[in-house]
Structure 1
Amino acid sequence: MQSIPVDTTRLGVLRCAIAPEAKLSNPETQEVKKDRDGNPVYTVAVTVRQDRRRISVIEIAVTGEPKGIEEGQIVKVTGLTAFVWSMGERHGVSFRADAITPVPGTTAHTKGGAA
């Protein structure tokens, strides 16, 4: 699986759409997915809006639970990487980041840019 670095400065305002949730490796047993080092993996749904175009939502995986992030809040995504994958007839793009943090001075109700 090839990784592709993503320039987040070109993505416009990034806003949390769904607060951090543990990523499940087995939904039946509720087992939480772990990274290579045994740390839990979380996902955060983030809205992306470039150049006043329509909004896209991407789900970003990150190791460890991101702290202080609420739905609607502007966030900073560090080290974003895209991975193209395929499994049989299915294919897609997954996203992973080194960190997702709240932007200082913003809350879920801040009007700091449309997203």
Structure 2
Amino acid sequence: MQSIPVDTSRLGVLRCAVAPEAKISNYETQEVKKDRDGTTIYTVAVMVRQDGRRVSVIEIAVPGEPKGVVEGAEVRVTGLEAFAWNMGDRHGISFRASAITPVLPAGKGGGG
């Protein structure tokens, strides 16, 4: 599966639509998906709003729990990649990133 790097600077404002949830790899056993290093994979639904009012929601897989990411908060996505996939007659695009972090409001840098 070939990865396609995504330029997040062109995506406009990114906000968390659904807080991080551990990704389930087997719904029957409720087994949680892990990467090669044994780190739990989390999924975060992110709202993408470019010019105007049109909003899209994409689900992004990320290794490790994104701390401080809550619904409605502006987020920064690092290392975003897209993957085209198909299974039988189903197909789509999935996304993964190396990190998702909250964007702190100006003046809230923790120095006070």
Alignment of 1:88-99 (within 5 A): 88-99=88-99
> TM-score, length-normalised on structure 2?
0.92
Q: Summarize deviations over 1:65-114 as a string: whole Å, max 9, x none.
A: 000011000000000000001111111000000000000127xxxxxxxx
User: Which segments of 5 or more consecutive residues in structure 1 lack a partner in the other structure?
Assistant: 107-115
In structure 2, distance between residues paired with 1:38 and 1:88: 29
| Shift in Å, 1:53 | 4.2
In structure 1, distance between residues paired with 2:37 and 2:52: 40
Name the counterpart of 2:23: 23
Q: Summarize deviations over 1:23-82 as a string: whole Å, max 9, x none.
A: 000112111001111110000000001111410000000000000011000000000000
In structure 1, distance between residues paired with 2:24 and 2:47: 22
Q: Percent identity between the aligned chains?
A: 76
How many equivalent residue pairs? 106
User: Which segments of 5 or more consecutive residues in structure 2 lack a partner in the other structure?
Assistant: 107-112
Q: Does 1:82 align with 2:82?
A: yes
Name the counterpart of 1:6: 6
In structure 1, distance between residues paired with 2:38 and 2:52: 40
Name the counterpart of 1:72: 72
